[in-house]
Amino acid sequence: MKKKKKAEEASQADQSGGQGQQPEEKKRTVPENLLYWMRTLYRESPGFVWLYLAGCGVAVGISLLGVYMPSVLVADITEGGSVRSILGDLAVLGGGLVCLYLLSNWLERTKGILGSRIGQRQALQATDLALETNYDNIERADFPEEIWQLVERHMWTRDYNTGFLEAFAAVLTAVVGMILYTGMLSGLSLWILLLVIAGTALNYVVGIRCNRWDARNRHKWITLDYKMVYLSRSTSTYEASKDVHLYWMPPWLRKMFNRELKQRLHYTVRQQGNYFLVSAVNGFSQMVWEGAAYLYLIYLVCEGRLDAAGFVLYIGVVRGFAGWCGSIVQAIRQLHEKASYVEEQRHFFDKLQRGREKEKEGLVLAAGHVPEISFEHVTFRYDGSQTPVLKDLNLTLKPGENLALVGLNGAGKTTFIKLLCGFYDPTEGKILIDGVDRSRYSKDSWLKYFSGVFQDAELFPMSLEENLALGTAPDSGEGSGEEKAAGRKAGAEPKQHNAQRRQEQHNDQENHGTHMDACLKMADLEDKIKKLPQGLKTMFGKESYEDAADFSGGEMQKLMLARALYKEAPLLVLDEPTAALDPLMESELYQKYRRFSEHRTTVFISHRLASTRFCDRILLMEDGGVAESGTHEELLERDGKYAWMFRLQSKYYQKKEAQKEAGLEGEEVEKEI
């Protein structure tokens, strides 16, 4: 029985799409994150990884030639070599260095190009994943900041991928170089090697401690940076400019900005202090080992145990060995930093993928069919909350029914809409579609049968026609280049096919235009669009286009209504779609919309009760449940809370109408409550 109960709980948790408390995730180690990112980059572009590996050999070659060339030239001069032999050695060694530097430069340019391409692809992948994630992830307060940081890191911080491979290649190059140089220094002094290694270890410890502080506090100063960016933009955006000037907000905004800047400078000072500490420790250790090396080599020269060429060679080798040690420390610090970025990205991706559906079947409704939707003992609570928003809700939406949801703020109306549309799954209970549990179907296949207008809906920076159709408009082109080329090769028969295809496109365009005009007329936008110089081709978005059209709040809501009408979905949802309209215009628009929504199930949410009187059924929601249900007349006869709210609103609007008739519109109305 216990096993069965656990299985049922697991099934319920999976069905709820990750609602409720989530298990604590185990933090991955630095090697795990580095290996994961190496595999990721290799899958993206194997050649990108091999370029860095090739760069390791080039770097070692440049270092070795740079050490040997001065000592060889010094030996030629001190031993009395001919000019020809000196020039020959210089040509061979110098020519080799030039070739290696040219190859290194080509590798760097190629790596930069490939790194930018990979970064753009990864930013696109992150964006796609964010667009396809569950709605509960999008509603998290930290979602916009996290996705922007991730996209910015891939798109604009170009060392995210290149920096990782550069650090990895630097470690590999330094290891190879240290092995070679250790062999060269084996006949010199073990103490010099140990001194260099000890200084390197000290640099590593200090650097890692500073890196850990950065990792612990990075999110704090990034949050402050975004606050300052937001405040800066608030002074110049088109939407906020009226309020900024009307209420003289610059002093307040400046005060807020200075407060955030002061906190940001606190982290900047500490960060710069860390950088100074790392540089000071590195400089001190370098001074110690380099001074010891010079003193020891000078001593060998004075004792006659080392000639001038050997002195130059060993000085170069010691400095090269120390350089490899320093490269390892710096590269490991960079790898630690990149590993923390990778951990943040993987953690964010895990949250986006949590509760994703696993190969559910698609819902297919017959053309013109409107399903019956039933809520059976549905309870819902948001993630992290112990208080349910909806409690044991039982409700059936009949096909073609006009349903209105009314009630005070916080009653659960918008949450009901989210459950209905499939943005969330019930915490308890189930939702049936024609008697079948909705969890059987994929959410995408269910959402395609919905259209709606919500309180926070927006238009996008593109043409009005594209905003209204949102990708559903017919293609007006003549096919792709490949299709055209295939048509030219195939002869007369493809020409007939292309002519038929063009005719079909022409018919689709005519139907699209007719349907679009009908939707604009229903939304009372026909005259507004005709007055625009470019009609439906007019661009929207003042921030993106200088010649974009400007719309009032009421006109914006009408545009979103027209968009919902254009889709012709069997299920329509309107969550306060006419809040910016006056009551009379709202009532008139709803009457038009009711005629247009025949043979469709429609759900309205409105605080103006008079606008919902035409609905087949009205639900008064209170404390997560249905307090009253019935038609407008039935609820008035019941003389309950709905009737009280309706009479209260009616008195207010009657006074407003009387004022309007008396020419006193705008005068203060005596408060009723």
For residue range 94-145, what is the model confidence (pLDDT) as tens digits?
A: 888 889 889 988 988 888 888 888 878 877 877 787 777 777 777 776 677 7
> Residue 313: which of 185, 148, 416 has the closest Cα?
185
Place 468 in a pLDDT band, splitting at 50, 70 and 90: confident
Distance CA 365, CA 372 (A): 11
Distances (CA, A) of 282 to 198, 277, 327, 535, 656: 11, 8, 12, 67, 78
27-218+272-353 shares its CATH topology with 363-449+569-673: no
pLDDT score for 378: 95
Distance CA 68, CA 74 (A): 10
What SS3 string covers 539-584? EECCCCCCCCECCCHHHHHHHHHHHHHHHCCCEEEEECCCCCCCHH
What is the percent of the chain with per-residue pLDDT over 70, rounded to a whole number? 79
Mean pLDDT of the chain, nearest integer:
77
What does the pLDDT average to over 553-580? Answer: 80
Beta-carbon count within 10 A of 346 CB: 17
Which stretches of 411-463 are assigned E, i.e. beta strand? 428-433, 436-437, 450-453
The answer to whether 33 and 342 are in contact (CB under 8 A) is yes
What does the pLDDT average to over 485-514? Answer: 58
pLDDT score for 576: 77
Could you say which DSSP state residue 473 is in? S
Q: For Cα atoms 419, 422, 426, give the angle at the middle one, nearest 5 degrees.
A: 45
What does the pLDDT average to over 588-594? Answer: 67
- Under DSSP, is residue 374 helix (H, G, I), strand (E, B) or coil? strand
Write the pLDDT tens digit of every residue in 56-97.
Answer: 888 888 888 877 787 777 777 777 777 788 788 788 888 888
The domain 27-218+272-353: what is its CATH number? Answer: 1.20.1560.10
Q: Is the pLDDT of residue 373 over 90?
A: yes
Write the pLDDT tens digit of every residue in 528-563.
Answer: 888 888 888 888 877 677 778 878 777 887 888 888
The answer to whether 566 and 519 are in contact (CB under 8 A) is yes
Q: Is the pLDDT of residue 204 over 60?
A: yes
> Residue 451: which of 424, 475, 470 has the closest Cα?
470
Name every residue whose Cβ is closer than 8 Å to that of residue 642 and which is 6 or more positions away in sequence: 406, 609, 618, 620, 628, 635, 636
Write out the two tokens for 279. Answer: 């540089």
pLDDT score for 141: 67
pLDDT score for 159: 60
Write the pLDDT tens digit of every residue in 581-590.
Answer: 666 666 666 6
| Pairwise pLDDT comparison (654 vs 393), residue with the higher score | 393
Name the strand (E) or helix (H) holding 298. helix 250-302
Place 385 in a pLDDT band, splitting at 50, 70 and 90: confident
What does the pLDDT average to over 640-661? Answer: 71
Name the strand (E) or helix (H) holding 377. strand 373-380
Distance CA 126, CA 118 (A): 12
Place 242 in a pLDDT band, splitting at 50, 70 and 90: confident
**What's the topology of domain 363-449+569-673?**
Rossmann fold (3.40.50)
pLDDT score for 330: 79
pLDDT score for 19: 47
pLDDT score for 27: 74
Write the pLDDT tens digit of every residue in 208-233.
Answer: 888 788 878 877 887 888 788 777 77
What does the pLDDT average to over 575-583? Answer: 69
Distance CA 558, CA 561 (A): 5
pLDDT score for 388: 92
Q: For Cα atoms 296, 300, 302, give the angle at the middle one, nearest 5 degrees.
A: 115
pLDDT score for 482: 42
Task: Tell me phi and psi for residue 452, to 5 degrees.
Answer: -170, 170
pLDDT score for 483: 44
Distance CA 586, CA 554 (A): 10
Distances (CA, A) of 93 to 74, 107, 313: 13, 21, 15
pLDDT score for 382: 87
- Strongest mean pLDDT among 72-86, 408-422, 485-499, 584-598: 408-422
- Strongest mean pLDDT among 80-84, 315-319, 402-406: 402-406
The answer to whether 313 and 68 are in contact (CB under 8 A) is yes
Q: Which amino acid is residue 467, in one-letter code?
A: N
DSSP H helical ranges for 133-249: 135-138, 143-155, 159-185, 190-234, 238-246
How big is the chain by its Cα radius of gyration, in Å? 36
Place 485 in a pLDDT band, splitting at 50, 70 and 90: very low
Q: Quote the distance between the C-alpha of residue 641 and its chain's center.
A: 44
| Pairwise pLDDT comparison (183 vs 388), residue with the higher score | 388
Q: At what angle do helices 143-155 and 308-353 cross, to 10 degrees?
A: 140
Spans of all domains in the chain: 27-218+272-353, 363-449+569-673
pLDDT score for 460: 81
What does the pLDDT average to over 282-295? Answer: 81
